[in-house]
Amino acid sequence: MVEDEEHRRMRGEVEHNWFARWEEELPSPEELMPLSQSLITPDLAVAFDISSPNPSAAPPHTQLPPPPPEFESPDLSAPSGAGSAGNEEPARTLKRPRLVWTPQLHKRFVDAVAHLGIKNAVPKTIMQLMSVDGLTRENVASHLQKYRLYLKRMQGLSSSAVAGGSGAGGGVPPGPISAVDAATEQLFAGNPIPHSFLSRSVPGTGQEPFLQFMAPSLLPHHPQMAAATAYYHQRQIGFDHGFLAMEPPGLQRMGATSLGLIQPPAAAAHPANSYGDNINLSSRGGGEKRVLTLFPTGSED
DNA sequence: GCGTAAATAT
DNA sequence: CATATTTACG
């Protein structure tokens, strides 16, 4: 069953179908949000001001918060809130734990870039538009780099002879797919790629054509790749780190939380939710890791 | 400040 | 071991 889908996917014919399925199978933010909240310790939640369900940020299927290309969202709040009560963690000069780019966050990233246009899609601008607290220019820059590589790879593929229709055997035969590209592809694959990036100008600023085609995301069937299919590693889940993958010390605010920044392994808790597929990666002789699969963000503007 | 490359951590 | 993220350098 799954194989069939993959084969068709390779042909690039059922894009909509798989995409639609994706959305359907995707865990609703609602499902994940509450879950994450539960995981969040009350103490921490209070510190962040998110102890209670945020009225302004808890849309069931929300598409994308309002990232107006003109004004910034008030997500960025000053650290004044915590000034009083029992939580005084210097958010400055503290090393930040790894940031986990969750589909939701990535979606926002893409959205920001789309509105800005490749031309203005610079780390700083993107970061500002995203208005995600805790997000720094470095984070965006790094992600942007990967994003670019992802798009670049797409161009090459669609432009070059591909076809290969036969995915026989393996799937993606040719393809000097760097590890980074593959990974990026994975993450970005399930995300909406603003056509603006591929060949159109964006609203607001005159842009030149950047890419040309938006090829369906081809997921290499490599065993390792499969593992990548799982957005989170066996223990790379943001659980250990909290929601934003940020440790308590150094946290300021989390608009991100409301955004559904992190996505806990719902699959682990809800086996009933069968996403794309949980792939068991068998590295070699006994290396077995199970990963959760969740990705894409819903829709595009 | 942005882009790219390499290093480190998970 | 591979991948993701972080950090340093150009």
**Is the pLDDT assigned to residue A291 strictly greater than 80?**
no
The residues of the protein lying within 7 Å (CB) of strand B read A 98, 122-125, 137, 141-142, 144-145, 148, 233, 235-236, 240
Q: What percent of chain A has pLDDT over 90?
A: 0
Terminal CA-CA length for chain A:
31
What average pLDDT does the segment A154-168 reach? 52
What average pLDDT does the segment A212-220 reach? 34
CA of A142 to C1' of B2 (A): 11
pLDDT of residue A132: 80
Write the pLDDT tens digit of every residue in A86-113.
Answer: 445 455 556 667 888 887 788 888 888 8
**Is the pLDDT assigned to residue A252 strictly greater than 50?**
no
CA of A24 to C1' of C4 (A): 27
Look at strands A280-282 and A288-290 and give their pairing.
antiparallel
- Adjacent-strand bridge partners of A205: A202
pLDDT of residue A266: 35
CA of A121 to C1' of C10 (A): 21
**Is the pLDDT assigned to residue A23 strictly greater than 60?**
no
What average pLDDT does the segment A234-252 reach? 37
Query: A187 pLDDT band (50/70/90 cuts)?
Result: low
**Is the pLDDT assigned to residue A25 strictly greater than 70?**
no
- Contact flag, residue A187 CB and nucleic strand C, below 7 A: yes
**Is the pLDDT assigned to residue A142 strictly greater than 80?**
yes
pLDDT of residue A113: 84
pLDDT of residue A106: 83
Conformation bin of residue A7: beta by default, left when phi > 0, alpha when psi is -120 to 50: alpha
CA of A143 to C1' of C5 (A): 9
Nucleotides of B under 7 A from a protein CB: 1-5, 9-10
Q: Give one DSSP letter per residue of chain A, joined into a string.
A: -HHHHHHHHHHTS-HHHHHHHHHHHSPPHHHHHHHHHHHS-HHHHHHHT-SSPPSSS--SS-------SSS--TT---TTGGGSSS-----SS-PPPPPP--HHHHHHHHHHHHHHHHHH--HHHHHHHHT-TT--HHHHHHHHHHHHHHHHHHHHHHHS--------TTS--S----HHHHHHHHHHHTS---HHHHH--BTTB---------PPPP----HHHHHHHSSS-TTTSTTTT-SSS--STT----HHHHHT-----HHHH-TT---S-PPEEE-STT-EEE-----------
- Contact flag, residue A179 CB and nucleic strand C, below 7 A: yes
Q: Helix A137-159 and helix A123-130: axis angle, to 10°?
A: 110
What average pLDDT does the segment A178-205 reach? 51
Instruction: Select, from the ranges A2-11, A23-32, A62-71, A187-196, the one with the highest average predicted confidence (pLDDT).
Output: A187-196
Alpha carbon separation from A212 to A151, A158, A182 (Å, rounded): 10, 8, 20
pLDDT of residue A133: 78
CA of A138 to C1' of B5 (A): 15
| CA nearest to nucleotide B3 C1': residue | A145
| CA nearest to nucleotide C1 C1': residue | A283
CA of A145 to C1' of B4 (A): 9
- Contact flag, residue A251 CB and nucleic strand C, below 7 A: no
Spatial neighbors of A210 by CB under 8 A, at least 6 apart, are A118, A151, A197, A198, A199
For chain A, give the mean pLDDT.
50
Question: pTM higher than 0.85 for the full model?
Answer: no
Nucleotides of C under 7 A from a protein CB: 1-8
Query: A118 pLDDT band (50/70/90 cuts)?
Result: confident
CA of A247 to C1' of C8 (A): 24
